[in-house]
Amino acid sequence: MNESVYNLDNQNSNLSSKITVALERISEAYRVLLWEKAKEFKLSPIQIQILVFVNSHKSKYCTVSYLADEYNITKATISDSVKSLLSKGLIEKLTNENDTRSYIISLSDSGKKIITELNNYSMELSNPLNDLSIEKQESLWGSLSEIISKLYNSNIISMQRMCFSCKYYKQVPEGHYCGLLEKELKTIDIRLDCPEHDRK
Ligand code: SF4
């Protein structure tokens, strides 16, 4: 029996197959929206991702190596994008006091001027989610965080700043606990990208 999710007999009779393909469609929508924004600003998709990431993360994460891990691409590809962003005047290079062989990427004044418009490229994806009831959103987040955790345990995706890979995270009989915040975390409190994350 062909168990591929693309085998329509299997897909139409198996909910997990349908969900797998649905996630692929959503990821495709994300890619299309990113491309549209890239065309509008004459940037590449990864250049937009770098600008958005640098704008919202601590400087210790804004290095070529970290960005390569974050987006699962080579350092050479990130370096090329950084060179292009520098030539467009959208970023600056700062000295990395922790590692003199690398540098910190920071937004320039011109980069800061366009960041609000770049940041909203995924807005159309969040609109339908905002239409869901809070109960449905909570249930969806519970399922997604569990799927992300399993894919991380299978080394398929990185989970750089999520609770499950943090040294402060503990699984407790009641659910989850953060040792830094010293409080129980409900499923909705589990963070995907936490500024206080410290890798286990
Ligand atoms: S510090 Fe942040 S990532 Fe770590 S367990 Fe607490 S909330 Fe989660």
Q: Are 85 and 99 in contact (CB under 8 A)?
A: no
> Any idea where the domains of the chain sit in the sequence?
1-131, 136-189
Q: Whose CA is nearest to atom 6 of ligand 1?
A: 178
Task: State the DSSP code for 55.
Answer: H
Give the residue-averaged pLDDT of 125-151. 94
Burial of 50 (0-12, 13-18, 19+ CB in 10 A): buried
The ligand 1 atom at the shortest distance from the C-alpha of residue 165 is: 3
Q: Is 177 or 153 the better-scoring residue by pLDDT?
A: 177
Q: State the CATH architecture for 1-131.
A: Orthogonal Bundle (1.10)
Mean pLDDT calculated for residue range 169-194: 95
Question: Which atom of ligand 1 is found nearest the CA of 162?
Answer: 3
Of 30, 193, 41, the C-alpha closest to 117 is 41
Per-residue pLDDT, 1: 54
Tell me how far the alpha carbon of residue 9 is from its chain's centroid: 33
DSSP bridge pairs for 176: 171, 185
Segment 75-104 mean pLDDT: 95
pLDDT in tens, 42-60: 999 999 999 999 999 999 9
The model carries a pTM of: 0.89
Residue 180 to residue 171: CA distance in whole angstroms: 14
Distance 41 CA to ligand 1 centre (A): 35
